[in-house]
Structure 1
């Protein structure tokens, strides 16, 4: 299936908050017709009202795909609105963290093709990355359709199986928050060294976003980019001696943080 299939048969978006809106904006920019999109959203934004999509009206009987974009804690109340579309003709694509494929099969039926995806918030600027995996009923064409829709907001990777999803959630799903906290911490450290707070934040924010863009564009590995900045015995080397400490530096700290996020994902999936 392709985006032409979406235009022919329709797409249902259940939930249109920040992530859903980012994805919808990307789809429309890629040629999905507003008239081929049905959105269920109890609190629609002014932007959503102006897109021309079908908003909070009766759904088509057999759309190509239903994208589940509501928060996990709201899933129980939201799913009854689309449960009649289960059974095999419609692909269901979920971007809800911690909600397993098995739980969706229990709701929509084992014959329903289901794909689980984990995007992240840089999707809002077209720089996200999503990881996907499907159940036994999800065909290669289903996976390609999911990839086409998710590429509207960034990169897409396929997983070996759902067992990898909690680790993905901990690395890329939650990862933007780690980077934002790095900006906060770097700015606070600049303040501690005597910089005014606004200047420290400007320097930290530009440094992290600029380094991220360099990592995105450069052919070198991240380790080589780090080496390129580091003069032996210089200021960067002094800082890295602290940050790369095997017991108190970034490596053990991030291992603990990612493990905590992955463990929490596993708890939510039970």
Structure 2
């Protein structure tokens, strides 16, 4: 059992709900995010409900790569036994159609969702390789299955890159004690997508995260969650010709 779990981007949305659900399973937690006040509120709520747990909080901007390595090492030293599982969850959803004058937004998404995720994976793997054990979880998205248009073009590209990074590690570590998972959430309500028009496929945060947590606990290499309807839809998206894909999305 993975006893000590580090979750980045844990101050709200999917990260905060994962913290709640893993705490309910009796896991010790290290929670990081930029918004320290939110982390403190979440930690206090978790300890009030689960007083026997260890819940650490660290302010961390994942685009500060030096701080990522320093924070992961500090947390590993603080948690008895070290970190068992790292969930690379921090991300943003900014974006604009390419060529419309908002390179700044697309660059920020690329830096946060992929380059910072690479730094987190490097920092986690440094720790896991040192003890030849651990579970790295990369939170991708069904948006990473195919290239997507307009405001989500860069976002989808970053999520595809995360999935590819995870798969490369899976190939390298096949049959070894370190495991790597790529989790592809579908439409799950969170702060990240509050501005998006409502869709009949969206599920509540608690329900969606429950599916994520189940896949993470099973240490699946790849999981589209919730399984219905995203397993069949992801399969369709992979093979759909562009005119059909455009109608699907």
Query: Smaller-chain TM-score range?
Result: 0.3 to 0.5
TM-score under structure 1 length normalisation: 0.43
Q: Which has the higher contact order (CA 8 A, sep 6+)?
A: 2
